[in-house]
Copies of this chain bind each other. A is one copy, B any other.
């Protein structure tokens, strides 16, 4: 059971040296003679010595681990982001502790407390769709915890942030719908206070306005659980379908909402794209195999994860408090597929 590891003390005893000498020999200090070094190094090698990371952490007052909080890992965008995060973290000798908020503020708070109690060196977070109270994060930040936000950021907290150009992505997607003949474009969105919702709806509204279409505020359905609960999406779509002016297309602001809409529409036997166009943010690599293949706005999730981690490590390893924070904005990609191209119905209108 015990799994007794070799310690520096064991080596010292075996070789008749002091622990300090062994430690210094292993770190290749100049004060140790080449012969002693060789002796120690060979012994360590042969007996497979590895420094105890916990003892090191205690001594150096750092755990070499970073905390990550996302909505859920079973979500392509986040799992891809995590891939990026891990690749950088591991290369720098950090390990990653992942936790999921499942779009719940309470769970996010619990996870945050858990992570900090595990003494992480830094935090990468994309807040839950429910989160509009940032006091805990603020407190953490003020206490000196290095934090990097990505995707769903918090404007009020000044630190590094990594996002995509949500406004532009949404603008392009909405414009695309309009160009394809759709005129009554609804939106199924996350909670209104969420950064991505604000930005994406901003692009959506601007595109409509720029094309001379009115912005139908009643046609924006907010899902406070971000699609985690399908019934919420169902309700939203239902209301849209029974509105006075039934929409002919939907713009969904996140992965779960996009596929959620498709699910509901198919259950209602509503033809996409003929009766209803559908475009949304998504990173699922199955979207092209769906029926119909989905037009999506894709985020460079992996790169975002990499970038966020690099920024975080920079923060962690900086000697003096960082004051100069930056917000990195990457580009989205609009991938046009069948769900927004209703040739027969709209070709003449366009």
Contacts and interface: CB of A to CB of B under 8 A. Distances in A.
Interface string A41-60: 00000000010111101100
A99 interface: yes
A144 B262 CA distance: 50
Copies in the complex: 2
A73 B63 contact: no
A144 B79 contact: no
A83 B73 contact: yes
Nearest to A90: B114
B289 A3 contact: no
Interface in A89-105: 90, 95-100
Nearest to A51: B117
B95 A118 contact: yes
B98 A144 contact: no
A32 to B, nearest CB: 24
Contact of A145 (B3, B54, B117, B259): B3
A321 interface: yes
Nearest to A73: B79
A50 B145 contact: no
B86 A99 contact: yes
A173 to B, nearest CB: 20
A228 to B, nearest CB: 12
A289 B266 contact: yes
Contact of A2 (B55, B144, B291, B292): B144
A143 interface: yes
Interface residues of A, number: 51
A22 B61 CA distance: 22
Contacts of A21: none
Nearest to A110: B90
A243 B312 CA distance: 54
A1 B95 CA distance: 20
A349 interface: no
Nearest to A121: B3
A2 B80 CA distance: 31
A14 interface: no
Contact of A54 (B63, B144, B291): B63
A100 to B, nearest CB: 7
B289 A259 contact: yes
A53 B119 contact: yes
Contact of A74 (B61, B79, B293): B79
8 contacts: A1-B320, A55-B58, A72-B79, A73-B73, A83-B100, A86-B100, A90-B114, A291-B293
Interface of A: 1-3, 5, 50, 52-55, 57-58, 61, 63, 72-74, 76, 79-80, 82-83, 86, 90, 95-100, 114, 117-119, 143-146, 259, 262-263, 266, 284, 286, 289-293, 318, 320-321
Given A79-B79, A259-B286, 18 more contacts: A1-B144, A1-B146, A2-B61, A2-B144, A53-B117, A54-B57, A54-B58, A72-B79, A73-B79, A74-B83, A86-B100, A96-B97, A259-B289, A263-B289, A286-B290, A289-B290, A289-B291, A291-B293
Query: Top 7 nearest A-B pairs by Cβ distance?
Result: A291-B291, A74-B79, A3-B144, A54-B57, A73-B79, A54-B58, A50-B117
